[in-house]
């Protein structure tokens, strides 16, 4: 059986439900998000290692997986969500068209005093490289956020950070990367079957 690096987006929060930009702000899961986390815990096999972003919404999701599998959660700050700076907690409309254009056109652009896509890519690629060997021997689950997942997918595909704008990752979605070969391979993207029947109010 192929062992993989499993990337799990945390369950839903109230901010996610309302379409707000959510970076370093640290809200808990909402009721629907906790249901998603429990569904993930039932669906995913016990991993060899379980890694989490330090933010509460990821930790709560990882804790549900840990309770089901008996695996200890390792916190790695490199998997934290992008820093949106002054945009954190705001609707997408808070940034004007010129601001969105600048962000999309240049991965090194830093929006509203936050963090660039390129900076996310640097830290996530380093984390992926460190986990690749372990993931080739036994499943490694990482509970994280949209931007780090996109950066990890870019790493697997060998493409630049600008590809992030061509991806959409659902709440509690699962992506899988096979790291056993000479280059990583994306084998599943945005899989939501684990919680497809879970109600999300």
**Averaged over 36-51, what is the pLDDT?**
96
Kindly report the pTM of this predicted structure: 0.95
E strand or H helix that includes residue 143: strand 140-144
Catalytic residue among 35, 38, 60, 81: 81
Structure tokens at 44: 């995913």
Q: How many angstroms separate the CA atoms of 127 and 147, rounded? A: 14
Please give the domain boundaries of the chain with CATH numbers for all domains. Answer: 4-195 (3.40.50.1240)
In this predicted structure, the answer to whether residue 1 has a pLDDT above a threshold of 90 is: no
Residue 113 CB coordination number (10 Å): 10
In this predicted structure, the answer to whether residue 132 has a pLDDT above a threshold of 60 is: yes
Catalytic residue among 10, 35, 60, 195: 10
In this predicted structure, the answer to whether residue 199 has a pLDDT above a threshold of 50 is: no
**Annotation says 195 is catalytic:** no
Q: Of 51, 13, 19, which is closest to residue 32 (Cα–Cα)?
A: 13
**Annotation says 18 is catalytic:** no
Query: Is there a contact between 79 and 6 (Cβ–Cβ < 8 Å)?
Result: no
């Amino acid at each position: 059986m192929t062992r993989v690096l499993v990337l799990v987006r945390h369950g839903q929060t109230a901010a996610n439900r309302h379409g707000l930009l959510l970076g370093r702000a640290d809200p808990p899961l909402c009721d629907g998000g906790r249901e998603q986390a429990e569904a993930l815990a039932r669906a995913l096999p016990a991993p060899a290692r379980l890694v989490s972003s330090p933010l509460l919404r990821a930790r709560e999701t990882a804790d549900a997986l840990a309770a089901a599998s008996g695996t200890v959660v390792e916190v790695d700050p490199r998997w934290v969500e992008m820093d949106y700076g002054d945009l954190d907690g705001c609707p997408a409309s808070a940034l004007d068209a010129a601001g969105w254009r600048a962000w999309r056109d240049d991965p090194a652009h830093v929006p509203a005093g936050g963090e660039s896509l390129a900076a996310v890519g640097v830290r996530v690629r380093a984390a992926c490289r460190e986990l690749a060997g372990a993931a080739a021997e036994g499943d490694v689950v990482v509970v994280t956020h949209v931007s780090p997942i996109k950066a990890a997918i870019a790493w697997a595909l060998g493409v630049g950070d600008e590809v992030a704008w061509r991806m959409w990752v659902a709440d509690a979605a699962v992506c899988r990367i096979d790291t056993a070969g000479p280059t990583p391979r994306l084998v599943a993207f945005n899989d939501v079957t684990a919680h497809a029947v879970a109600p999300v109010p």
